[in-house]
Structure formats: C-alpha cells, structure tokens
Structure 1
Amino acid sequence: MFFIDTLDVTGLGNRSYLAGGDRAAVVVDPPRDIDQVIAAAARRGVRIAYVVETHVHNDYVTGGLELARVTGAAYLVPAGAGVAYPHVAVGDGDRFAVDAGVGLRALATPGHTPHHTAYALEENGAPVAVFTGGSLLTGTVGRPDLVEPRLTEGLARAQYASAHRLAEELPDETVVLPTHGFGSFCSSRRAEGAGSTIGEEKASNEVLLRDVDTFVADLLAGLDDIPAYYTHMGPANAAGPAPVDLTPPAVADAEEIAARLAAGEWVVDLRNRVAFAEGHVAGSLNFEAEGQLATYLAWLIPWGKPVTLLAASPEQLAAAQRELVRVGIDRPAAAATGEPENWTGERLASFPRATFADLAATATGAPAARPEAHSGADLRHPPAQRPVVLDVRRHSERTAGFVDGSVHIPLHTLPRRLHEVPDGQVWVHCAGGMRAAIAASLLDAAGREVVAIDDGFDAAGRAGLVVRTRLDGGDSDTAGPADRTHG
C-alpha cells in the first residue's frame, strides 16, 4: 500500500512530497530546510531511498543535495539539467523501485524548463499519482519564461505538448501533484483548489481545452513580472547549495542597529503592519512575518546586502530565518527581539493607516470614516494640496481597475524609483494592505509623509472613488502631477 504526504511551503506557494510504501520513500522537490522532511519520514517510519528533482528550480534553493547526503538516498536529477554535483541522471521512461509494489516512472515534460521531468507514482505497475513539478498545475501550467527570453515561445509550445502527453498517457483518476501553483510566481497564474486529477484537468484546464496557437498566445500575454531574486536561484541550485545554519543570529543592541542603518544596511521589522505603523525604529522597513516575507524581501533587497531582523519574539525570528534560507538569504547580520522601544535610543517613528473611505473624505475635508483604524496622525484635516495616491500593485492587477488619477509604481520597482513619487503627502495602496505597508515603510524611511491604506481594493469604488480601467480612457503608469482628482 502506498502513501503520499504533502509538505506545504506556504510562504513561497510551493509544495514538496514524501511518498512511498511501508519501509521506504521518495522525496520530491524538497525545500532547503530539510529537517521538516526528515521529521515527516520519521513519523512514517520509512527510509528515504530517493530524493527527486523535477527540474532546476528558479524560485527557491533546493534542499535536495543536502537531503541526499544526510540520508544516503540516491539523488535523481533530470538529464540535461547541467548540475555540478554527483547525481543519477534521469531520462524519459526510467523506472525506480521505491518499495514493494511502489515505484516511479520518469516522463519527460519540457516547457517550464527544457529538461523538466514529471514522475508517475505507480502501485503494482499502475499509475496512481503524478508529480508534475512546474509542468501541469491545478487549472494552469508553469510559466515558460524563466530560463531565457529567446526560448520562451518554444518552451510554451513544449509546455502545451507536455501537458497533453500527461493527459493522454495517464488514467483519468491519476492524482495531479504539482510543486508550484499555490501562490508561487513560477505559476503562469494562481492555481485554485486543494488537489486535482488528470480527468478533472481535462475538463477544466485551458492547456487541455484550447488549440496550441490560442493557448500559447494567451499564456505569453498573461505572464507577470518575474521576482528579481529568481536570477540567483537557478545558478545556486545548479552549483549545489550549501547546508543551512538556522542557529540564532548575533544579538544587536540599539547602538548596533543605529550603526547598521547609518551604513546603509537593511533593518527589517517583522512585526505586523499595525504594530509597525504605530511605532518603529526610524529607517527600518516593514516586511510582515505573516505575509510573503521570503518572496518580497528577496525581491526588493539588493542581492547580498546585509539584513538585520527585528522580531516580536524568538519564535517569530526563527520562523523568518527558515523562510529566508529557502530563497538564499542564509544568515542575518544580526537580530533583536522584544519591544521596539528597546531597539533605538531615539523616539519611535510612526505613520497613519487609513481606508479608501478616508481617502475619499480628504477631497471634501469630511471626518475620517473609521478613525479607530488610524495610528500616528489625525486624518480629519485635509492637506494643503490633494494627496498623491500611489498604487503599488503589479501591472496585471492594475489592468482590472485603478483609482482615477493615481500614480502607478509597482512595489518591486519602488526602491529604485522613490524619486519619481510626486511631492506631497502620499497615500499608498495595494490590493489588501500588506504590500502597501512595505511601500509605506520605504517612503517613511526616505523621509516622505505617508499614509498606508490598509483596505481591500474592492472598497475603493464603494467609497465613492472613481475606479477606471485602461479601456475607460487611459492610465497613469508613471509619476505625474500631485494634484489629483478622486471622484
């Protein structure tokens, strides 16, 4: 009898898998912090016989090499991946016996990468599940543009052919188990649902319902921005990642934190955005530990710049370290936990939070709609000039609707474009509040007067603000005059 355990890597929107029989198992696409994988195998009472990669990952640092070394497992990597360490090169059709009656069959599925390989889990020779990595995802496919721009269209067509191969060769009841697609930027769009089968994908996945030309055109048109740190993940995985060190960092006192800020290093406050807005070390940046910490910190920070972490508790700090090693931020330069008053010898900085209703009220000078949601400032009195409304969502999000007159600078470009934000008080928003908080902290650290809109974007129209789309007559994707209209 076989088993399959799913290991969620929620911060990155990925999944790894432990599967096998009574005595031995295989691990597919393991995260870099391998202790959780070893613990899962121990709970099952199985030996890890194989560690498998579906491809050289572009969105995180793999733990495969270290897991294979620690456990003595055979390390299966697709042939043509170009890795620099000893491994078993896997070709199309190769089979591997995992346990009595349980085995793997390799299926070449190029598209997400040229060498991508899926693995069918078989019981007594019959497929029961397929580990699809970044190929066939739940309701979508992995994006084909992460390797080399000139290869993108060819890989998109290969992705189409690979998805159809899986659909044609595997029974409808075969469970589909992708690595990406649960919020990962490796997915061409966000996958929906907790699980799927080949039969369900045949009925709902556009790659299996459309002709190749239509599918490829739509896929390429819908590709979103690529996180900047992806540039470093593939080379790290091909070279062979080093073991991780999750021991606590050196403790920084207020004097050291001030010195690191003065040196231009990043000091990152992991507390929630409400606590940060109410009081924080001047110059520190807010990346919530509960948000997509690894994705956005790795995307925005200049690669290799030292980072000091400020956390509410040792547990929060430890969880953040674990997330960050997955994207190659291996060791914080220093850290501090506790209360922000202990992190600085100066007065704490703060800025107000607001809603879209508050933004609408600034046009008339009406009282703030929800004063209990604010911190740090009284919003009932409008500024001398109308505020700058800064939208930090991605281009694909803005296409669906934007506040009329707003300035658009996507969050991942903001650190290098702060000079483009017009003069005046800046009200910054995203889709729900997390990215707005990051942007507000960047602006606050740069000395700007900022208000963080901690609200869902769907509330903008209900608040009376004019929400337009590009079809309504244009957009403002670049910085412009500070005098804006808000309906």
Structure 2
Amino acid sequence: MDVIVIETPQLGDRSYLVHDGAVALVIDPQRDTDRVDAAAREAGVVITHVAETHLHNDYVTGGYDLARAHGAKYLVNAADPVKFDREPVTDGQVIQIGNFSVTVVATPGHTHTHLSYIASDGTTEAVFSGGSLLFGSVGRTDLVAASDTVGLTHDQYASARRLVHEAEHDAELFPTHGFGSFCSSGPATGAGSSTMGEQLTANHALTDADEEHFVRDLIANLTAYPSYYAHMAPANAQGPGPANLQVPESLDAAELTRRLADGEWVVDLRNRVAFSSNHLQGAVSFEYGNGSNFTTYLGWVLPWSDKLTLVGEHADVEDAIRDLSRIGIDSPDAAIGTEPHAVAPDAPVASYPRVGWEGLLEGRAADDVLLDTRRTDEYAASHLLGAVNVPLHEILSRTDEIPAGKVWVHCGSGYRAGVAASLLQRTGRDVVHVDANFDEAATAGVSMAELTV
C-alpha cells in the first residue's frame, strides 16, 4: 500500500491517493481534480473509490466530479444530507479496495458527521483523519453553529482518543487540515509527517487528561475564520461540478476602464511594491504568490457574489483562477498585462507611499492614524502604541470607524496592509503602506503598548 500526498498549500490542506499498484482510493480531493488524475496516471493505477471525511468548510470538493469521471464509488457518510447519489458509509464498515481494506471510524467534532478512515494492507496502517486528529492539535469545532461548539469540542476530545485506540501506534497519520488551514485549532505543529504513537505525546487532545480543561482551552483560543466558509459545506452537499480553469480572453482597454469607473472589483495580482508605485485608480491589491494567502484573503475580504476582474501576467492569472475555483469563485474575467498603461491606456492611475518602520518613525505626524489590520487576537497579544485595530476582513464594513486623517496601515508582514491600503485609497482615504514585519517594530524603535492582563 502506497500513499501519495497531493498538497494544496494555498489553503493549508492535503488530499491523498492511496493505492496497491493497481487500484486506488482518493481521500478529500480538491476541486481541481486534474492533479489527482496526473498522480494516478504516474502511479499507473485506476481510481475505483473516492472518499470524503466530511462536508468541507474551507474548500469546494472535487470528490463528486472525480467519482463520476472515473465511475468510482463515492464514499460519503450516510448521515450527510447530500443532494446526490453516493455510496453511503457508516461507522465500523470495512471496505475492500484491491489488496487493502479501509475501516470507517466515526470521529465527530469538526462536524457532527465527520469520519476518519484506517487503511491497512495487513502489514502497515495509515490513518486519514480529515479535520479530526491533526499534527499536534485537532480541527476547530465552531464551524457548525455557536450553540453546538461546546458539544462538538467534547466530541472532538473523545474522537481523538477513539482514533488512537482503533489504530496501531506505528500507523502514519494523514490529516486533511493542519498545514495553514483556518480549519485547524490550537497548537498545530506544522510538522510534515507523524504517527499515531507520536501524537500520544505531542497532541494536546491526547496529553490533556482533563476534558473540561481541554474544552475550555480550545474554545478560548479559537480565532476568526474566513467568511466564505459559510458557502462551502452547502456547495459540497449539492455535488459541485467541474472547475473551469481556462483563462478567458483578455478584456479590451475600454471595457476595463468602464469597470473601474463603475466601481467594479478589479484585482491587481502584481506584487505590492509595484502596485503601490503605480496602479489603475480603483483597483485593489491582492498580490499573488510568495506564500501570500491570496485565495483566503480575497475570498474573506471581497463581497462573495460580486464579479471579479483579474489583472496581471498570464501565468499569475491562470494560477489565480485555479486557486479561486477551489473556494467556489468561478470564471473571473481577466485583463492580461503587467503595466497599467498597457491594459487601460485611458484610465487614471494612482499610487501611495510605501515605507518601513523607519519611514513610519520619520514621517508620521502626531494626528495621523496608525491602523493595525491584524486579527483581534493578534492585536490583543501585542500592538503598537496608539494603533487602531480594524482587521483586514472587516475593513469594508468598518471603514467609517477609521478616524479622519492620513492612515498609516500595517499588519504582521506587509501583505494584509497592502490589501487594506488599496481598499482605503479606493474610498478616497490618504494612505501610507507600512510594509514591514511586526516582530521587528520594537527593535526599530516603534513604541509598543503596555498590555494589562
């Protein structure tokens, strides 16, 4: 039995192709299933089964479409209220796939109907835990409903312990979440691999002997999660169709200019340095690549149903279309080009200053606004003296709360501040982008607020 890992670092998730050299099971595939097809071809195997651990909250699944394309059995919890035909599976069921077997284990917590799968070829075991047991932690438990969070957290505690009991200690653990996904909770380690035995000493759901303490601690440390999550599980319950990954024909200059003038969402994919120095007036900056969390922040910040136009070089537009399809943002328009004067010669352009911490110290006037666009939990842990906190994902709804005057915008690394600066300039505010690492602010001489415990 071999396990092929298919990474989706843009969302912090993994999918898996499990095979015996002839037939394969796919677990939690992302919507762009061509990557799974390529892995199966390279391994020389036929996909006969596709399985979901749960109705995902952070991405649109490719499971339904992949199973139909291959004539494979689609394994989904019998209790899930889906709108399509599937192979319903239940706790304790054993499924034979070629030379290995798969045991279904009910592991509620991340959702009420969450399943894990233990695969075994008689010699080795592999545990596919979805959003249940992660490396060092567990999946978050507050995605169903606020009234269910306490109960689901107790369930998650019990599920982690049951899963360890059901599997061999040397079984390798393969979670779907926990690699940067907001579906994670608690102290996820960021490790690349682990075993069930290692988790016994490294996972707080297994090392904390006090269940009530575990529940209180996990819930107390839950942070904000992307607003687009609300659309994912309902879409997955419908049985999502294939993603359209084609790059559309580039918009002509007149149409792009009209969209800017009408206030439509035009997203500039260039790096934030280039954007700050010269961009189409009314465009917003969502830098693509370089570990930017582009997909998460765009889906979190911009209105869900509004039409998008992507502006950038062909390769970035192509990759952005793929990434956005994973969260159900389909078929955005595009204008291919890297210079504003090339894609829309008659459209007005704009710019704003971009500085580091030294520039902030030298240039900020006493009555200027210092805006912190990090999450509230980040702000509570440490922030700059006098900073106003409006998290990036709340900027559009809370713009009126930002005091009048020039706004110096910062975050943790500079990325979120670049997005926020572009959004604020779009509303007519005078902005300065502080493109610097927050951890270096104190060393640079920026005054930090004294926190009270």
TM over 0.5: yes
Residue deviations 1:240-261 (CA, integer Å, cap 9, x gap): 1122111112321222112112
Match of 1:353 in 2: 354
How many angstroms apart in 2 are the aligned matches of 1:207 and 1:420? 40
Deviates more, 1:137-146 or 1:342-351: 342-351
Number of matched residues? 448
Match of 1:302 in 2: 303
How far did residue 10 of structure 1 move?
Answer: 0.9
The runs of 5 or more residues in structure 1 that have no matched partner are: 363-381, 473-487
Match of 1:150 among 147, 166, 174: 147
How many angstroms apart in 2 are the aligned matches of 1:335 and 1:165? 52
Match of 1:319 in 2: 319
The runs of 5 or more residues in structure 2 that have no matched partner are: none
How many angstroms apart in 2 are the aligned matches of 1:261 and 1:116? 44
SS at match of 1:244: coil
Kept in 2, the 8 Å contact 1:22–1:99? The answer is no
How far did residue 171 of structure 1 move?
Answer: 1.6
Match of 1:10 in 2: 9
- 1:207-356 to 2 correspondences below 5 Å: 207-210=205-208, 211-290=210-289, 291-311=292-312, 313-344=313-344, 345-356=346-357
Match of 2:415 among 397, 414, 434: 434
How many angstroms apart in 1 are the aligned matches of 2:89 and 2:47? 18
Residue deviations 1:410-469 (CA, integer Å, cap 9, x gap): 000001111111111111111101111100110111121111111110111112222135
Q: What letter matches 1:130 in structure 2? A: V
How many angstroms apart in 1 are the aligned matches of 2:46 and 2:335? 37
How many angstroms apart in 1 are the aligned matches of 2:114 and 2:262? 43
Match of 1:466 in 2: 447
How far did residue 127 of structure 1 move?
Answer: 5.2
Q: What letter matches 1:186 in structure 2? A: C
How many angstroms apart in 2 are the aligned matches of 1:191 and 1:269? 33
Match of 1:44 in 2: 43
1:410 is aligned to 2:422 = no
SS at match of 1:458: helix
Q: What letter matches 1:195 in structure 2? A: S
Residue deviations 1:298-330 (CA, integer Å, cap 9, x gap): 11111110000001x211111000000000101
SS at match of 1:471: coil
Match of 2:61 in 1: 62
Deviates more, 1:350-359 or 1:22-31: 350-359
Q: What letter matches 2:372 in structure 1? A: D
SS at match of 1:335: strand
How many angstroms apart in 1 are the aligned matches of 2:117 and 2:172? 12
Match of 1:420 in 2: 401
Deviates more, 1:189-198 or 1:63-72: 189-198
**TM-score relative to the length of structure 2:** 0.96
- 1:126-205 to 2 correspondences below 5 Å: 128-189=125-186, 190-205=188-203
How many angstroms apart in 1 are the aligned matches of 2:335 and 2:95? 45
Compute the RMSD of aligned alpha carbons.
1.3
Kept in 2, the 8 Å contact 1:270–1:288? The answer is yes
Kept in 1, the 8 Å contact 2:260–2:266? The answer is yes
SS at match of 1:57: coil
Residue deviations 1:117-145 (CA, integer Å, cap 9, x gap): 00011012x55110000000011100011
Kept in 2, the 8 Å contact 1:120–1:127? The answer is no
Q: What letter matches 1:418 in structure 2? A: T
Q: What letter matches 2:356 in structure 1? A: T
How many angstroms apart in 2 are the aligned matches of 1:212 and 1:140? 14
Kept in 1, the 8 Å contact 2:257–2:347? The answer is no
How many angstroms apart in 1 are the aligned matches of 2:262 and 2:307? 10
Q: What letter matches 2:279 in structure 1? A: H
Match of 2:92 in 1: 93
Q: What letter matches 1:105 in structure 2? A: T
Match of 2:427 in 1: 446
SS at match of 1:58: coil
**TM-score relative to the length of structure 1:** 0.90
Q: What letter matches 1:328 in structure 2? A: G
How many angstroms apart in 1 are the aligned matches of 2:323 and 2:337? 17
Match of 1:366 in 2: none
Residue deviations 1:68-126 (CA, integer Å, cap 9, x gap): 010111000012111110001110111112222x12111110000000000011012x5
Kept in 1, the 8 Å contact 2:129–2:176? The answer is yes
Deviates more, 1:327-336 or 1:218-227: 327-336
How many angstroms apart in 1 are the aligned matches of 2:253 and 2:139? 45
How many angstroms apart in 2 are the aligned matches of 1:276 and 1:403? 26
How many angstroms apart in 1 are the aligned matches of 2:427 and 2:357? 24
SS at match of 2:102: strand
Q: What letter matches 2:331 in structure 1? A: R
SS at match of 2:250: coil
How many angstroms apart in 2 are the aligned matches of 1:171 and 1:120? 10
Residue deviations 1:34-74 (CA, integer Å, cap 9, x gap): 01110010000000011000000011100000000101110
How far did residue 347 of structure 1 move?
Answer: 4.4
